[in-house]
Amino acid sequence: MSHEIPIDEGYLDMDLLRFTTAGSVDDGKSTLIGRLLYDSKNTFEDQIEAVEETSKKRGDENVNLALLTDGLRAEREQGITIDVAYRYFATPKRKFIIADTPGHIQYTRNMVTGASTANLAIILVDARTGVIEQTCRHAFIANLLRIRHVIVAVNKMDLVDYSEERFEEITKEFEEFASRLDNIVDMVTIPISALHGDNVVEKSTNTPWYEGPTMLYHLENVYIGSDHNHVDARFPVQWVIRPHSDEHHDFRGYAGRVAGGVFKPGDDVVVQPSGFTTKIKAIESLEGPQEQAFAPLSCTMTLEDEIDISRGDMIVKANNPPKKEQVIEAMICWFSEDKQLQPRGKYYLRHTTKEVKAIVQEVKYKVNINTLHKVEDDTTFGLNEIGRVSIRCSAPLLFDSYRRNRQTGSFVLIDSQTNETVAAGMIV
């Protein structure tokens, strides 16, 4: 990589930001990603050469940076299903993971998938057309998946003469709509031209009236530390470690990834669903005992008492239990191309490290994702449809609302015949 990463201890200690990009087909999303990679010097020289050459061959006026993310285009030509592609770049400050979801028919499913792990969403708006139906759909999905941070990139500012008035107009339009989206706590609007690079990495001289950050500056500096829940202690047990060795004869460690809160040795904990109480003896690691473990770290804990615990159980703090219900209400997005939701059909429901059988009891309503209106008279559920359902499980789930905790509030439905993942769910 042509990017020089300074060799000091700092480079081993960067932040990680995951973001997703949303835009319609011609909003310039590929160009924007290409521009981010190119201007932040995260492209290989041979890649740039290839892109320059192809651009020249095609008679493009400018170097077509969209070609940098061309893997997907090739797939499209081959007729392969296009879904989420992940891309990586880094600056000395942060490492970035982009979930790039191409804007085409299966957009909803892909954006939901990409958004599920993202801290931030970039929503592209064409400065000429302004906020359109699709923009609202993208914002709705970002909000539904509880993305806290949104950048509205008003692109193609060059085509509206870098008009401050036009930019303000679009900002206002979007803010009016977004005021209804209560999961988005931080939103910035940035006037850019991905094609010419205005305000993407370099501050533009074409927009002297704009005093906000460039896109990269914002990506590098937006505070995302509070995206994890550090209040409600949740530890879904993933695997039980029993060495059966002379050295660790009685060792029984509970391995998992902290899904919320903070755990420390000595904490009073309850093991759900059994309800047994005990204390944390130690938080173990290859490097020795740890002082604490918090989301999203993987760890292994030992407990003071010998209790029968297995995968799918959850260790929580004594004074702060999760909800425990056999019937849940959730927003789901349907993913299967082949099969619609079967009323009373049986699915596997996978939630944290637990799997249960589940029946969709009732479709409460669907959301028309173009108008965002509720649809109550049509309860069929097909690909890309989003709506609210109630689900009955074969055993109680230990959960929080998705709003409160993305890890303990999310699940997928799996078709019991094909084993395909057919829906994503967010518990209300």
Partner 1 sequence: MEEERNSYRVNHLAQLESEAIFVLRETAAQFEKPALLFSGGKDSIVMAHLARKAFHPARLPFPLVHVDTGHNFPETLEYRDKYVEEIRADLVVGLVQDSIDQGRVQEEKGPFASRNALQTVTLLDTIEDNQYDACLGGGRRDEEKARAKERFFSHRDDFGQWDPKNQRPELWNIFNGRKHHGEHFRVFPLSNWTEMDVWQYIKAEGIPLPSLYFSHKRDVVHRNGAMLAISDVVTPQEGEEVEKDAVVRFRTIGDMTCTGAVYSDASTMDDIIQEVATARQTERGTRADDKRSETAMEDRKKEGYF
Residues in 296-355 at the binding interface with partner 1, rule: CB under 8 A: 296-298, 300, 311, 335, 348, 350-351, 353
**Nearest distance in Å: CB 162, partner 1:** 33
Question: Within 164-183, which residues bind partner 1 (CB under 8 A)?
Answer: none
C-alpha 193/C-alpha 204 separation (Å) is 9
Residues in binding contact with partner 1, number by CB under 8 A: 84
Instruction: Answer yes or no whether residue 282 interacts with partner 1 by CB under 8 A.
Output: no
C-alpha 285/C-alpha 115 separation (Å) is 32
C-alpha 158/C-alpha 359 separation (Å) is 53
DSSP 284-329: E-TT--BS-EETT-EEEEEESS-----TT-EEEETT-PPEEEEEEE
Instruction: Answer yes or no whether residue 105 interacts with partner 1 by CB under 8 A.
Output: no
C-beta closer to partner 1: residue 18 or 35: 18
C-alpha 162/C-alpha 253 separation (Å) is 60
Among 76, 104, 180, 242, binds partner 1 (CB under 8 A): 242
C-beta closer to partner 1: residue 32 or 154: 32
Instruction: Answer yes or no whether residue 428 interacts with partner 1 by CB under 8 A.
Output: no
Question: Within 126-165, which residues bind partner 1 (CB under 8 A)?
Answer: none
Among 285, 326, 370, 371, binds partner 1 (CB under 8 A): 285
**Nearest distance in Å: CB 85, partner 1:** 4
Q: Are 95 and 88 in contact (CB under 8 A)?
A: yes
User: Interface with partner 1 by CB under 8 A: which range of 180-188, 202-210, 372-380, 402-410?
Assistant: 402-410
**Nearest distance in Å: CB 186, partner 1:** 14
Which of left, alpha, beta for 266 (phi over 0: left; psi -120 to 50: alpha)?
A: left
Total Cβ atoms within 10 A of residue 396: 16
Q: 164-178 vs 133-144: helix axis angle to the nearest 10?
A: 50
Structure tokens at 147: 């993305």
Among 50, 90, 188, 359, binds partner 1 (CB under 8 A): 90
Q: How many helices (H) and strands (E) does the chain have?
A: 7, 22
Question: Within 38-57, which residues bind partner 1 (CB under 8 A)?
Answer: 44-46
User: Interface with partner 1 by CB under 8 A: which range of 107-115, 155-163, 165-173, 205-213?
Assistant: 107-115
C-alpha 254/C-alpha 310 separation (Å) is 8
**Nearest distance in Å: CB 144, partner 1:** 12
C-alpha 329/C-alpha 415 separation (Å) is 19
Instruction: Answer yes or no whether residue 71 interacts with partner 1 by CB under 8 A.
Output: yes
C-beta closer to partner 1: residue 177 or 294: 294
Helix (H, G, I), strand (E, B) or coil at 374: strand
Instruction: Answer yes or no whether residue 377 interacts with partner 1 by CB under 8 A.
Output: no
Among 238, 379, 384, 390, binds partner 1 (CB under 8 A): 238
Instruction: Say if strands 298-303 and 276-284 run parallel, antiparallel, or are unpaired.
Output: antiparallel
C-beta closer to partner 1: residue 230 or 364: 230
**β partners of residue 290:** 283
User: Interface with partner 1 by CB under 8 A: which range of 26-34, 128-136, 322-330, 404-412?
Assistant: 404-412
Question: Within 22-41, which residues bind partner 1 (CB under 8 A)?
Answer: none
Instruction: Answer yes or no whether residue 185 interacts with partner 1 by CB under 8 A.
Output: no
**Neighbour-count burial for 304-329, b at 16+ CB within 10 Å, e otherwise:** eeeeebebbbbbbbeeebbeeeeebb
Contact string 246-275 vs partner 1 (x = CB under 8 A) = -xx--x-x-xxx----x-------------
Question: Within 202-231, which residues bind partner 1 (CB under 8 A)?
Answer: 223, 225-226, 228, 230
C-alpha 258/C-alpha 312 separation (Å) is 13
C-beta closer to partner 1: residue 205 or 226: 226
C-beta closer to partner 1: residue 46 or 211: 46
Task: Name the strands in the sheet holding 94-100, side by side, starting at the edge strand that comes first in the sequence.
Answer: 85-90, 94-100, 15-22, 120-126, 149-155, 186-191
